[in-house]
């Protein structure tokens, strides 16, 4: 493609960045080229989750976060959040994300209970960031 305005310095930039694709834009003088770049992140991450979840000391929290953040099965994410909370009952961050998952599933009362538990644990741990996160979440749930 020919550029309208001249570019003095060779320029490279990434645009339209998504989870597994982006575009590499190259510009110099009057010429611009866009190269599509893609990778198979999805199958690699899913393979790693499946591999790791069959071993001892399972990373339930990380797998649940991936599922929740990437629109995967929220019911499975909740199962893993519950197991992560069983492994580490004082982990206020797990209870907070569990509350977020419950809220996304429409389980408002359970989400309120989980956020309240996280708030209690975060207060005891003097973690003001999570205290505020839980207070804000509880406001949206009431």
Tell me if the pTM is above 0.85.
Answer: no
Region of residue 16 (left: phi > 0; alpha: psi -120 to 50; beta: else): left
| pLDDT digits 0-9 by tens, 19-46 | 889 999 999 988 999 999 999 888 888 8
In whole angstroms, what is the distance from residue 133 CA to residue 35 CA?
Answer: 41
Please give the pLDDT value at position 85: 95
pLDDT at position 56: 62
Structure tokens, 62:
């990380």
Q: What six digits make up the tokens of 105? A: 């599933």
pLDDT reported for residue 21: 92
d(CA 118, CA 127): 11
Low-confidence ranges of the chain (pLDDT < 70): 1, 55-57
- Could you give the domains of the chain? 2-38 (no CATH), 41-141 (1.25.40.10)
């Amino acid at each position: 493609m020919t550029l309208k305005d001249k570019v003095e310095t060779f320029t490279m930039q990434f645009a339209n960045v998504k989870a597994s694709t982006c575009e590499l834009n190259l510009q110099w003088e009057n010429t611009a080229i866009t190269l599509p770049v893609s990778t198979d992140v999805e199958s690699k991450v899913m393979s790693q989750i499946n591999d790791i979840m069959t071993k001892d000391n399972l990373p339930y929290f990380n797998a649940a976060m991936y599922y929740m953040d990437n629109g995967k099965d929220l019911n499975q994410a909740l199962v893993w959040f519950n197991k992560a909370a069983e492994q580490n009952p004082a982990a206020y961050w797990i209870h907070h994300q569990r509350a977020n998952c419950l809220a996304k599933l429409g389980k408002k009362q359970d989400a309120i209970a989980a956020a309240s538990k996280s708030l209690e644990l975060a207060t005891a741990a003097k973690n003001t960031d999570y205290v505020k996160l839980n207070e804000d979440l509880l406001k949206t749930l009431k």
